[in-house]
């Protein structure tokens, strides 16, 4: 039987990296973790680690690159009839050098890190609203300031640059967090929507980039820049997960706010409220992105 002390927390992309570390830290606080990832072996390993340490966890396979499977995942969760207290939209990737797409034809970075999470949140909204104080955490990145959002080419069909595609997906996550809070407030819904970022953390997210054959000067520069930032400013995945956990647990969080490391230009340090790039503060752009997301995914939010 569910007690008032135990929250159900779903973390996407929790088979490794930031998601795994966030799940482990939340489990140590007493939360019941839903480990959600397309990597079955990694996800099961995360759940086993939590249980071996005395925590509570279950693994559920989730593929954010396939809207039909995502809907099936959400249907299964809703059928359980349980409250979902916290949803951490963490899963992401560094888009490959050559443009790739999801099963539904969306540019891979946008489709997985942003649009899949938009759809998942909307589909799980009934479960979130069963909770007394539901919270949604969108995971962004310092790179959101480098985004170049073009609503005439959201899918990078005309001019694709992998690093810009990544930055755009993370700006979209931040815009989404704020727009979700505005819409929840307008509907009188008791839902807190916030965004968080890990600073500069060494995780497996760049494994694909490290294996690619980068022949052009710009593509090599992208990889060199990433590796240098990790060497100069990088912390561990466990440290990088702390702002996500803070955003998911702190009693004094502010809906629509942004949380991350508070030292060395937000690259490391204790988690707290931080300032996003001005690009993330345009409510009109956020509303336009929301409308485009509803059209592309076919998911409406039932407030």
Domains of the chain: 8-294 (3.40.50.720)
Lowest mean pLDDT among 47-51, 53-57, 192-196, 207-211: 207-211
Residue 211 binned pLDDT confidence (cut-offs 50, 70, 90): low
For position 214, what pLDDT does the model report?
A: 66
Residue 3 binned pLDDT confidence (cut-offs 50, 70, 90): very low
For position 182, what pLDDT does the model report?
A: 98
> What does the mean pLDDT of the chain come to?
92
With beta carbons less than 8 A apart as the criterion, state whether 299 and 192 touch. no
Annotated active-site residue in 166, 226, 258, 259: 166
Overall pTM surpassing 0.85 (yes/no): yes
Spell out the SS3 assignment of the chain: CCCCCCCEEEEECCCCHHHHHHHHHHHHCCCEEEEEECCHHHHHHHHHHHHHCCCEEEEEECCCCCHHHHHHHHHHHHHCCCCCCEEEECCCCCCCCCCCECCCCCEHHHHHHHHHHHHHHHHHHHHHHHCCCCEEEEECCHHHHHCCCCCCCCCCCCCCCHHHHHHHHHHHHHHHHHHHHHHHHHHCCCCEEEEECCCCECCHHHHHHHHCCCCCHHHHHHHHHHHHHHHHHCECHHHHHHHHHHHHHCCCCCCCCEEEEEECCCCEEEEEECCCCHHHHCHHHHHHHHHHHHHHHCCCCCC
207 vs 154 pLDDT, higher one: 154
The question of whether 166 is a catalytic residue gets the answer yes
For position 174, what pLDDT does the model report?
A: 98
Percent of the chain with pLDDT over 70: 88
For position 245, what pLDDT does the model report?
A: 98
């Amino acid at each position: 039987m569910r007690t008032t002390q135990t929250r159900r927390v779903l973390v996407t992309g929790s088979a490794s990296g930031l998601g795994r570390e966030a799940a482990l830290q939340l489990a140590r606080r007493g939360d019941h973790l839903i480990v959600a990832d397309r990597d079955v072996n990694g996800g099961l390993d995360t759940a086993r680690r939590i249980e071996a340490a005395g925590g509570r966890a279950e693994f559920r396979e989730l593929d954010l690159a396939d809207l039909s499977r995502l809907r099936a995942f959400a249907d299964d969760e809703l059928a359980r009839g349980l409250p979902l207290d916290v949803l951490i939209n963490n899963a992401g990737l560094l888009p490959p050098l050559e443009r790739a797409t999801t099963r539904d034809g969306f540019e891979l970075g946008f489709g997985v890190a942003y649009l899949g999470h938009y759809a998942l949140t909307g589909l799980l909204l009934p479960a979130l609203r069963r909770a007394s104080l539901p919270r949604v955490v969108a995971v962004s990145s310092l790179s959101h300031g480098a985004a170049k959002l073009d609503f005439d080419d959201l899918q990078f069909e005309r001019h694709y640059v992998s690093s810009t595609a990544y930055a755009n997906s993370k700006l979209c996550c931040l815009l989404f967090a704020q727009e979700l809070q505005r819409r929840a407030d307008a509907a009188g819904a008791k839902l807190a929507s916030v965004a968080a970022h890990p600073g500069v953390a060494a995780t497996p997210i760049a494994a694909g980039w490290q294996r690619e054959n980068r022949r052009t000067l710009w593509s090599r520069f992208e990889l060199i820049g990433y590796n240098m930032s990790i060497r100069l400013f990088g912390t561990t995945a466990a440290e990088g997960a702390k702002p996500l956990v803070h955003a998911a647990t702190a009693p004094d969080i502010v809906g629509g706010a942004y949380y991350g490391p508070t030292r060395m230009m937000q690259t490391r340090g204790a988690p707290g409220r931080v300032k996003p790039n001005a690009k993330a503060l345009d409510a009109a752009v956020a509303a336009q992105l929301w409308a485009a997301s509803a059209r592309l995914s076919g998911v409406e939010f039932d407030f």
